[in-house]
A and B are shown apart, each in its own frame.
Chain A
Amino acid sequence: MQLSEVLSGVRLSIQDERVPYRYSDEVLVGLINRALRLMVVVRPDLFAFMADITPIVGAAVQTAPANSVRIMEVFNVVGGNGITEVERESMDESYPQWKSDPSAPPVNWMRHVRNPNRYFLYPPPSTGVQLFIEYSRQPRTYTEVDLNDVTPIPNGGTIDDLQDAYLPIIIEGVIYLAESIDNEHVSSGRAAASQKMFFQALNAGLESREISDEEDGNRKAEVPT
Protein backbone atom coordinates (compact mmCIF):
# COMPACT_ATOMS: atom_id res chain seq x y z
CA MET A 1 0.00 0.00 0.00
CA GLN A 2 1.46 3.30 -1.10
CA LEU A 3 1.23 6.45 0.96
CA SER A 4 0.03 8.30 -2.17
CA GLU A 5 -2.94 5.90 -2.50
CA VAL A 6 -4.12 6.83 0.98
CA LEU A 7 -3.68 10.51 0.28
CA SER A 8 -5.66 10.48 -2.97
CA GLY A 9 -8.40 8.37 -1.34
CA VAL A 10 -8.72 10.91 1.47
CA ARG A 11 -8.75 13.90 -0.92
CA LEU A 12 -11.52 12.29 -2.96
CA SER A 13 -13.68 11.66 0.11
CA ILE A 14 -13.30 15.13 1.61
CA GLN A 15 -13.54 16.85 -1.80
CA ASP A 16 -10.13 18.43 -1.54
CA GLU A 17 -8.70 17.61 -4.94
CA ARG A 18 -8.22 21.09 -6.39
CA VAL A 19 -5.16 23.22 -5.84
CA PRO A 20 -4.85 25.15 -3.60
CA TYR A 21 -5.79 22.34 -1.22
CA ARG A 22 -7.63 22.92 2.03
CA TYR A 23 -5.23 20.47 3.66
CA SER A 24 -1.67 20.46 2.37
CA ASP A 25 0.14 17.20 1.64
CA GLU A 26 2.25 17.82 4.72
CA VAL A 27 -0.82 18.07 6.96
CA LEU A 28 -2.47 14.96 5.51
CA VAL A 29 0.72 12.88 5.76
CA GLY A 30 0.88 13.97 9.41
CA LEU A 31 -2.71 12.75 9.86
CA ILE A 32 -1.86 9.45 8.14
CA ASN A 33 0.93 9.02 10.72
CA ARG A 34 -1.58 9.66 13.52
CA ALA A 35 -4.12 7.24 12.04
CA LEU A 36 -1.45 4.54 11.78
CA ARG A 37 -0.56 5.05 15.44
CA LEU A 38 -4.21 4.75 16.41
CA MET A 39 -4.39 1.51 14.42
CA VAL A 40 -1.33 0.00 16.06
CA VAL A 41 -2.81 0.66 19.51
CA VAL A 42 -6.18 -0.86 18.61
CA ARG A 43 -4.82 -3.71 16.47
CA PRO A 44 -1.11 -4.37 17.23
CA ASP A 45 -1.42 -7.65 15.33
CA LEU A 46 -1.78 -5.72 12.04
CA PHE A 47 1.79 -4.52 12.41
CA ALA A 48 3.27 -7.87 13.43
CA PHE A 49 6.86 -8.21 12.34
CA MET A 50 9.14 -11.23 12.68
CA ALA A 51 12.88 -10.86 13.09
CA ASP A 52 16.04 -12.41 14.49
CA ILE A 53 17.31 -10.44 17.48
CA THR A 54 20.29 -10.73 19.77
CA PRO A 55 19.20 -10.77 23.43
CA ILE A 56 21.23 -9.34 26.29
CA VAL A 57 23.67 -12.06 27.37
CA GLY A 58 23.11 -13.38 30.89
CA ALA A 59 20.03 -11.24 31.56
CA ALA A 60 16.74 -12.80 32.60
CA VAL A 61 14.88 -9.55 31.89
CA GLN A 62 14.99 -8.58 28.23
CA THR A 63 13.83 -5.54 26.30
CA ALA A 64 12.03 -5.69 22.95
CA PRO A 65 13.60 -3.90 19.95
CA ALA A 66 13.43 -0.09 20.07
CA ASN A 67 10.68 0.12 17.43
CA SER A 68 8.44 -2.39 19.20
CA VAL A 69 4.97 -1.50 20.43
CA ARG A 70 4.58 -4.84 22.19
CA ILE A 71 6.25 -8.22 22.15
CA MET A 72 3.96 -10.88 20.70
CA GLU A 73 5.86 -14.15 20.57
CA VAL A 74 9.29 -15.64 21.11
CA PHE A 75 9.44 -18.63 18.77
CA ASN A 76 12.84 -20.26 19.04
CA VAL A 77 16.58 -19.98 19.34
CA VAL A 78 17.85 -19.39 15.79
CA GLY A 79 19.15 -22.75 14.58
CA GLY A 80 18.16 -24.34 17.89
CA ASN A 81 15.34 -25.33 20.18
CA GLY A 82 11.81 -23.95 20.39
CA ILE A 83 10.93 -21.62 23.26
CA THR A 84 7.72 -22.21 25.21
CA GLU A 85 5.70 -19.48 26.87
CA VAL A 86 5.12 -20.17 30.56
CA GLU A 87 3.67 -18.45 33.63
CA ARG A 88 6.15 -16.28 35.49
CA GLU A 89 4.18 -16.56 38.71
CA SER A 90 4.57 -20.36 38.72
CA MET A 91 8.27 -20.01 38.04
CA ASP A 92 8.70 -17.55 40.93
CA GLU A 93 6.75 -19.75 43.33
CA SER A 94 8.34 -23.08 42.48
CA TYR A 95 11.82 -22.08 41.46
CA PRO A 96 12.61 -18.65 42.92
CA GLN A 97 16.29 -18.72 41.93
CA TRP A 98 15.54 -19.09 38.21
CA LYS A 99 16.91 -15.66 37.31
CA SER A 100 20.33 -16.66 38.69
CA ASP A 101 20.70 -19.90 36.78
CA PRO A 102 23.73 -20.20 34.49
CA SER A 103 23.39 -18.84 30.97
CA ALA A 104 22.31 -21.26 28.24
CA PRO A 105 20.03 -21.28 25.20
CA PRO A 106 16.59 -20.31 26.61
CA VAL A 107 13.76 -22.86 26.73
CA ASN A 108 11.02 -20.72 28.33
CA TRP A 109 9.85 -17.14 27.94
CA MET A 110 7.44 -15.12 30.06
CA ARG A 111 5.56 -11.90 29.41
CA HIS A 112 5.84 -8.89 31.67
CA VAL A 113 2.14 -8.27 32.10
CA ARG A 114 2.49 -4.59 32.99
CA ASN A 115 5.16 -3.74 30.45
CA PRO A 116 4.46 -4.85 26.87
CA ASN A 117 8.04 -4.27 25.76
CA ARG A 118 9.73 -6.32 28.46
CA TYR A 119 9.90 -10.08 28.69
CA PHE A 120 11.77 -12.75 30.61
CA LEU A 121 13.92 -15.62 29.39
CA TYR A 122 14.79 -18.84 31.19
CA PRO A 123 17.60 -19.67 31.43
CA PRO A 124 19.28 -16.32 30.77
CA PRO A 125 20.72 -16.45 27.23
CA SER A 126 24.33 -17.34 26.64
CA THR A 127 26.76 -15.68 24.26
CA GLY A 128 25.98 -16.15 20.57
CA VAL A 129 22.29 -16.93 21.10
CA GLN A 130 19.91 -15.29 18.66
CA LEU A 131 16.14 -15.41 19.02
CA PHE A 132 13.45 -15.52 16.37
CA ILE A 133 10.65 -13.33 17.67
CA GLU A 134 7.50 -11.57 16.58
CA TYR A 135 6.58 -8.11 17.78
CA SER A 136 4.23 -5.34 16.83
CA ARG A 137 6.31 -2.77 15.01
CA GLN A 138 5.80 0.94 15.50
CA PRO A 139 4.80 2.44 12.11
CA ARG A 140 7.45 4.65 10.55
CA THR A 141 6.93 8.41 10.58
CA TYR A 142 6.29 9.29 6.95
CA THR A 143 7.01 12.67 5.39
CA GLU A 144 5.95 14.49 2.27
CA VAL A 145 9.10 13.21 0.56
CA ASP A 146 7.82 9.64 0.86
CA LEU A 147 4.72 10.47 -1.21
CA ASN A 148 6.50 10.16 -4.52
CA ASP A 149 8.83 7.35 -3.49
CA VAL A 150 7.64 4.01 -4.82
CA THR A 151 10.61 1.95 -3.65
CA PRO A 152 9.40 -1.55 -2.72
CA ILE A 153 8.90 -2.68 0.86
CA PRO A 154 10.29 -1.89 3.37
CA ASN A 155 11.44 1.50 2.15
CA GLY A 156 10.14 4.66 0.64
CA GLY A 157 6.47 5.51 0.37
CA THR A 158 5.20 2.01 1.02
CA ILE A 159 3.36 1.66 4.30
CA ASP A 160 5.21 -1.15 6.06
CA ASP A 161 3.47 -4.27 7.38
CA LEU A 162 -0.10 -3.17 6.63
CA GLN A 163 -1.98 -5.22 4.03
CA ASP A 164 -3.62 -3.50 1.00
CA ALA A 165 -7.03 -4.66 2.27
CA TYR A 166 -6.75 -2.07 5.05
CA LEU A 167 -6.60 0.88 2.62
CA PRO A 168 -10.30 1.85 3.08
CA ILE A 169 -9.90 1.66 6.86
CA ILE A 170 -6.91 3.93 7.06
CA ILE A 171 -8.64 6.37 4.68
CA GLU A 172 -11.61 6.49 7.10
CA GLY A 173 -9.20 7.08 9.96
CA VAL A 174 -7.56 10.01 8.21
CA ILE A 175 -10.95 11.48 7.22
CA TYR A 176 -12.07 11.26 10.85
CA LEU A 177 -8.96 13.13 11.97
CA ALA A 178 -9.08 15.69 9.17
CA GLU A 179 -12.76 16.48 9.65
CA SER A 180 -12.23 16.87 13.38
CA ILE A 181 -9.82 19.79 12.99
CA ASP A 182 -11.45 22.83 14.45
CA ASN A 183 -11.64 25.22 11.47
CA GLU A 184 -14.26 26.57 9.05
CA HIS A 185 -14.29 23.28 7.16
CA VAL A 186 -15.05 21.10 10.17
CA SER A 187 -17.71 18.45 9.54
CA SER A 188 -18.73 16.88 12.79
CA GLY A 189 -21.16 14.50 11.14
CA ARG A 190 -18.62 13.17 8.67
CA ALA A 191 -15.96 12.95 11.41
CA ALA A 192 -18.31 10.91 13.58
CA ALA A 193 -19.30 8.61 10.71
CA SER A 194 -15.70 8.00 9.69
CA GLN A 195 -14.61 7.45 13.29
CA LYS A 196 -17.34 4.87 13.73
CA MET A 197 -16.48 3.12 10.47
CA PHE A 198 -12.74 3.19 11.29
CA PHE A 199 -13.05 1.49 14.67
CA GLN A 200 -15.86 -0.85 13.62
CA ALA A 201 -13.87 -2.08 10.62
CA LEU A 202 -10.82 -2.69 12.79
CA ASN A 203 -12.89 -4.70 15.25
CA ALA A 204 -14.77 -6.53 12.51
CA GLY A 205 -11.41 -7.69 11.16
CA LEU A 206 -10.69 -9.15 14.56
CA GLU A 207 -14.05 -10.93 14.79
CA SER A 208 -13.70 -12.46 11.31
CA ARG A 209 -10.67 -14.35 12.57
CA GLU A 210 -12.97 -16.88 14.19
CA ILE A 211 -14.10 -17.85 10.71
CA SER A 212 -10.81 -17.59 8.89
CA ASP A 213 -8.29 -18.74 11.48
CA GLU A 214 -10.02 -21.71 13.09
CA GLU A 215 -9.95 -25.16 11.61
CA ASP A 216 -13.72 -25.64 11.80
CA GLY A 217 -14.62 -22.07 10.73
CA ASN A 218 -16.11 -21.59 14.21
CA ARG A 219 -18.99 -23.93 13.40
CA LYS A 220 -18.94 -25.02 17.03
CA ALA A 221 -20.47 -21.67 17.95
CA GLU A 222 -23.54 -22.48 15.80
CA VAL A 223 -24.26 -25.73 17.58
CA PRO A 224 -27.00 -25.14 20.18
CA THR A 225 -26.01 -26.29 23.63
Chain B
Amino acid sequence: MPTRNFDTLVQRLVTNVPGCPFPVIEKYIRDAAIEVCEETLAWKYQQPPIRLTPGLHNYPYEPPNNAEVHAFIHVALNGTKIIPCTFEDIYDQYPDWPNHDPEHLSRPQFIVHLDADQFGMAPVPDDEENYDLSMMVALKPLRTAAGMDESVFDEIENAVMDGALGYLYMLPDKSWTDMKLAEFHKRQFSYRNAGRRARQNLGNGRASVAVRPRPWV
Protein backbone atom coordinates (compact mmCIF):
# COMPACT_ATOMS: atom_id res chain seq x y z
CA MET B 1 0.00 0.00 0.00
CA PRO B 2 2.08 2.99 -1.20
CA THR B 3 1.81 6.17 0.82
CA ARG B 4 1.42 9.66 -0.55
CA ASN B 5 2.56 12.50 1.68
CA PHE B 6 0.29 15.45 2.41
CA ASP B 7 3.02 17.89 1.38
CA THR B 8 2.56 16.77 -2.24
CA LEU B 9 -0.66 18.78 -2.30
CA VAL B 10 0.97 21.94 -0.92
CA GLN B 11 2.13 23.16 -4.33
CA ARG B 12 -1.45 23.00 -5.61
CA LEU B 13 -2.65 25.23 -2.79
CA VAL B 14 0.20 27.64 -2.29
CA THR B 15 -0.88 30.06 -5.02
CA ASN B 16 -4.29 30.39 -3.34
CA VAL B 17 -2.78 31.46 -0.02
CA PRO B 18 0.33 33.53 -0.80
CA GLY B 19 2.53 34.04 2.22
CA CYS B 20 1.20 31.04 4.09
CA PRO B 21 3.99 28.78 5.41
CA PHE B 22 4.07 25.29 3.91
CA PRO B 23 3.78 23.45 7.27
CA VAL B 24 0.61 25.43 7.99
CA ILE B 25 -0.87 24.43 4.62
CA GLU B 26 0.16 20.82 5.25
CA LYS B 27 -1.50 20.86 8.67
CA TYR B 28 -4.84 21.92 7.20
CA ILE B 29 -4.51 19.40 4.37
CA ARG B 30 -4.17 16.71 7.03
CA ASP B 31 -7.16 18.06 8.98
CA ALA B 32 -9.27 18.13 5.82
CA ALA B 33 -8.16 14.61 4.85
CA ILE B 34 -9.22 13.33 8.28
CA GLU B 35 -12.59 15.01 7.87
CA VAL B 36 -13.12 13.60 4.38
CA CYS B 37 -12.21 10.10 5.58
CA GLU B 38 -14.64 10.40 8.50
CA GLU B 39 -17.50 11.64 6.35
CA THR B 40 -17.06 9.41 3.31
CA LEU B 41 -15.50 6.24 4.79
CA ALA B 42 -13.38 6.29 1.64
CA TRP B 43 -10.31 4.65 3.19
CA LYS B 44 -11.28 1.00 3.60
CA TYR B 45 -8.90 -1.51 5.06
CA GLN B 46 -9.08 -5.26 5.55
CA GLN B 47 -7.52 -5.89 8.90
CA PRO B 48 -5.45 -9.07 9.42
CA PRO B 49 -7.55 -11.75 11.27
CA ILE B 50 -7.47 -11.45 15.04
CA ARG B 51 -7.63 -14.57 17.24
CA LEU B 52 -9.77 -13.76 20.30
CA THR B 53 -8.51 -14.66 23.75
CA PRO B 54 -10.88 -16.43 26.18
CA GLY B 55 -11.93 -14.07 28.98
CA LEU B 56 -10.61 -10.94 27.25
CA HIS B 57 -13.20 -8.38 26.16
CA ASN B 58 -11.13 -5.61 24.53
CA TYR B 59 -8.64 -5.83 21.66
CA PRO B 60 -6.45 -3.36 19.83
CA TYR B 61 -7.03 -2.57 16.19
CA GLU B 62 -4.14 -3.25 13.86
CA PRO B 63 -4.30 -0.39 11.36
CA PRO B 64 -1.38 0.58 9.10
CA ASN B 65 1.13 3.14 10.34
CA ASN B 66 -0.09 6.73 10.47
CA ALA B 67 -3.77 5.69 10.55
CA GLU B 68 -6.48 4.88 13.06
CA VAL B 69 -9.87 3.24 12.81
CA HIS B 70 -12.91 5.43 12.42
CA ALA B 71 -15.69 2.86 11.90
CA PHE B 72 -16.51 -0.77 11.12
CA ILE B 73 -17.70 -1.64 7.65
CA HIS B 74 -18.00 -5.41 8.01
CA VAL B 75 -17.12 -7.80 10.84
CA ALA B 76 -17.22 -11.61 10.77
CA LEU B 77 -16.46 -14.16 13.47
CA ASN B 78 -15.33 -17.51 12.07
CA GLY B 79 -16.92 -16.45 8.78
CA THR B 80 -20.27 -15.42 10.24
CA LYS B 81 -21.30 -11.77 10.23
CA ILE B 82 -21.63 -10.21 13.64
CA ILE B 83 -23.37 -6.99 14.48
CA PRO B 84 -21.68 -3.74 15.49
CA CYS B 85 -23.66 -2.10 18.28
CA THR B 86 -23.55 0.64 20.86
CA PHE B 87 -22.57 0.46 24.51
CA GLU B 88 -26.21 0.88 25.47
CA ASP B 89 -27.18 -2.18 23.42
CA ILE B 90 -24.48 -4.24 25.07
CA TYR B 91 -25.42 -3.19 28.59
CA ASP B 92 -29.07 -3.87 27.82
CA GLN B 93 -28.20 -7.42 26.81
CA TYR B 94 -25.32 -8.08 29.20
CA PRO B 95 -25.63 -5.83 32.27
CA ASP B 96 -22.51 -7.36 33.84
CA TRP B 97 -20.36 -6.84 30.72
CA PRO B 98 -17.33 -6.91 30.64
CA ASN B 99 -17.01 -8.45 34.11
CA HIS B 100 -19.04 -11.60 33.41
CA ASP B 101 -19.05 -14.53 35.75
CA PRO B 102 -16.96 -17.29 34.16
CA GLU B 103 -20.10 -19.30 33.42
CA HIS B 104 -21.46 -16.41 31.32
CA LEU B 105 -18.54 -16.43 28.88
CA SER B 106 -19.71 -17.60 25.45
CA ARG B 107 -19.42 -17.06 21.71
CA PRO B 108 -19.32 -13.29 21.05
CA GLN B 109 -22.41 -11.90 19.31
CA PHE B 110 -21.66 -8.18 19.21
CA ILE B 111 -18.76 -5.86 18.62
CA VAL B 112 -18.43 -2.29 19.88
CA HIS B 113 -16.02 0.47 18.88
CA LEU B 114 -14.42 1.51 22.20
CA ASP B 115 -12.17 4.20 20.73
CA ALA B 116 -9.93 4.73 17.72
CA ASP B 117 -7.40 2.24 19.11
CA GLN B 118 -9.52 -0.63 20.42
CA PHE B 119 -12.80 -2.51 20.17
CA GLY B 120 -14.79 -4.70 22.55
CA MET B 121 -16.52 -8.09 22.14
CA ALA B 122 -19.74 -9.11 23.91
CA PRO B 123 -20.29 -11.47 25.45
CA VAL B 124 -16.69 -12.02 26.51
CA PRO B 125 -15.35 -15.03 24.54
CA ASP B 126 -15.22 -18.48 26.10
CA ASP B 127 -12.73 -21.25 25.36
CA GLU B 128 -15.15 -23.67 23.69
CA GLU B 129 -13.58 -23.05 20.30
CA ASN B 130 -11.09 -20.75 18.53
CA TYR B 131 -12.65 -17.45 17.46
CA ASP B 132 -11.05 -15.68 14.49
CA LEU B 133 -12.28 -12.19 13.81
CA SER B 134 -11.94 -10.65 10.38
CA MET B 135 -13.01 -7.11 9.77
CA MET B 136 -13.14 -4.43 7.13
CA VAL B 137 -12.74 -1.00 8.73
CA ALA B 138 -12.76 2.61 7.62
CA LEU B 139 -9.52 4.41 8.44
CA LYS B 140 -8.53 8.02 8.85
CA PRO B 141 -5.05 9.55 9.12
CA LEU B 142 -3.57 10.23 12.55
CA ARG B 143 -3.21 13.89 13.59
CA THR B 144 0.55 13.33 13.38
CA ALA B 145 0.51 11.50 10.02
CA ALA B 146 2.71 12.70 7.18
CA GLY B 147 0.62 10.95 4.54
CA MET B 148 -1.98 8.32 3.75
CA ASP B 149 -2.79 5.58 1.26
CA GLU B 150 -1.94 6.91 -2.18
CA SER B 151 -4.93 5.63 -4.14
CA VAL B 152 -7.40 6.92 -1.54
CA PHE B 153 -5.69 10.30 -1.34
CA ASP B 154 -5.76 10.58 -5.14
CA GLU B 155 -9.47 9.85 -5.04
CA ILE B 156 -10.34 12.46 -2.40
CA GLU B 157 -7.76 15.08 -3.40
CA ASN B 158 -10.19 17.73 -4.67
CA ALA B 159 -12.38 17.45 -1.60
CA VAL B 160 -9.31 17.72 0.64
CA MET B 161 -8.14 20.77 -1.27
CA ASP B 162 -11.45 22.57 -0.77
CA GLY B 163 -11.54 21.62 2.89
CA ALA B 164 -8.00 22.90 3.50
CA LEU B 165 -8.66 26.16 1.65
CA GLY B 166 -11.86 26.65 3.64
CA TYR B 167 -9.88 26.47 6.88
CA LEU B 168 -6.94 28.56 5.61
CA TYR B 169 -9.11 31.41 4.30
CA MET B 170 -10.88 31.57 7.68
CA LEU B 171 -7.71 32.15 9.71
CA PRO B 172 -8.07 35.63 11.22
CA ASP B 173 -5.91 38.60 10.25
CA LYS B 174 -3.64 36.90 7.76
CA SER B 175 -2.61 38.37 4.43
CA TRP B 176 -4.59 35.61 2.69
CA THR B 177 -7.72 35.75 4.90
CA ASP B 178 -10.88 35.90 2.76
CA MET B 179 -14.22 35.02 4.31
CA LYS B 180 -16.06 34.91 0.98
CA LEU B 181 -13.62 32.40 -0.45
CA ALA B 182 -13.78 30.47 2.82
CA GLU B 183 -17.55 30.14 2.42
CA PHE B 184 -17.18 29.12 -1.22
CA HIS B 185 -14.64 26.40 -0.48
CA LYS B 186 -16.59 25.14 2.52
CA ARG B 187 -19.63 24.72 0.26
CA GLN B 188 -17.49 22.99 -2.34
CA PHE B 189 -16.10 20.78 0.43
CA SER B 190 -19.59 19.69 1.51
CA TYR B 191 -20.63 19.11 -2.11
CA ARG B 192 -17.57 17.04 -2.94
CA ASN B 193 -17.84 15.08 0.31
CA ALA B 194 -21.44 14.20 -0.51
CA GLY B 195 -20.36 13.04 -3.96
CA ARG B 196 -17.52 10.94 -2.57
CA ARG B 197 -19.81 9.47 0.09
CA ALA B 198 -22.40 8.52 -2.52
CA ARG B 199 -19.73 6.89 -4.66
CA GLN B 200 -18.44 4.93 -1.66
CA ASN B 201 -21.98 3.83 -0.77
CA LEU B 202 -22.41 2.55 -4.30
CA GLY B 203 -19.14 0.67 -4.05
CA ASN B 204 -17.68 3.04 -6.64
CA GLY B 205 -19.91 1.37 -9.21
CA ARG B 206 -22.51 2.91 -11.48
CA ALA B 207 -25.53 1.10 -10.06
CA SER B 208 -28.34 3.29 -8.82
CA VAL B 209 -29.41 3.29 -5.20
CA ALA B 210 -32.68 1.40 -4.74
CA VAL B 211 -35.08 2.35 -1.97
CA ARG B 212 -37.21 -0.48 -0.65
CA PRO B 213 -40.16 0.25 1.69
CA ARG B 214 -40.12 -1.65 4.96
CA PRO B 215 -43.40 -2.97 6.26
CA TRP B 216 -44.73 -1.87 9.65
CA VAL B 217 -44.51 -4.63 12.22
Residues of A within 8 A of B (CB): 84-87, 90-91, 94-95, 98, 101, 107-108, 110, 122
CB distance from A73 to the nearest CB of B (A): 14
Q: Indicate if B19 sits at the interface (CB-CB under 8 A).
A: yes
CB distance from B5 to the nearest CB of A (A): 13
How many angstroms from the CA of A94 to the CA of B24 in the assembled complex? Answer: 6
Closest residue of chain B to A93 (Cβ to Cβ) is B24
CB distance from B182 to the nearest CB of A (A): 16
- Contact partners of A107 in chain B: CB under 8 A: 22
- Contact partners of B202 in chain A: CB under 8 A: none
* Inter-subunit contact B27/A95 (CB<8 Å): yes
How many angstroms from the CA of A107 to the CA of B174 in the assembled complex? Answer: 20
Q: Indicate if B213 sits at the interface (CB-CB under 8 A).
A: no
* Inter-subunit contact B22/A108 (CB<8 Å): yes
Closest residue of chain A to B28 (Cβ to Cβ) is A94
* Inter-subunit contact B24/A95 (CB<8 Å): yes
How many angstroms from the CA of A98 to the CA of B21 in the assembled complex? Answer: 10
**Could you pull out 21 A-B pairs where Cβ atoms are within 8 angstroms?**
A84-B14, A85-B19, A86-B19, A86-B22, A87-B19, A87-B20, A87-B21, A87-B174, A87-B175, A90-B21, A90-B171, A90-B174, A94-B23, A94-B24, A95-B23, A95-B27, A98-B21, A107-B22, A108-B22, A110-B21, A122-B21
Closest residue of chain A to B171 (Cβ to Cβ) is A90
Scan residues 14-56 of chain B and give those whose CB is less than 8 A from a CB of chain A.
Answer: 14, 19-24, 27
- Contact partners of A86 in chain B: CB under 8 A: 19-22
- Contact partners of B23 in chain A: CB under 8 A: 91, 94-95, 98, 101, 122
State which of A84, A85, A94 has its C-beta within 8 Å of the C-beta of B27: A94
CB distance from A117 to the nearest CB of B (A): 22
- Contact partners of A101 in chain B: CB under 8 A: 23
How many angstroms from the CA of A87 to the CA of B174 in the assembled complex? Answer: 9
Closest residue of chain A to B23 (Cβ to Cβ) is A95
* Inter-subunit contact A122/B22 (CB<8 Å): yes
How many angstroms from the CA of A85 to the CA of B175 in the assembled complex? Answer: 12
Most A CB within 10 A of own CB, among B14, B24, B27, B171: B24
Most A CB within 10 A of own CB, among B14, B19, B23, B24: B23
Closest residue of chain A to B24 (Cβ to Cβ) is A94
Most B CB within 10 A of own CB, among A85, A90, A107, A122: A90
CB distance from B63 to the nearest CB of A (A): 26
Closest residue of chain A to B26 (Cβ to Cβ) is A95
CB distance from A40 to the nearest CB of B (A): 27
- Contact partners of B174 in chain A: CB under 8 A: 87, 90
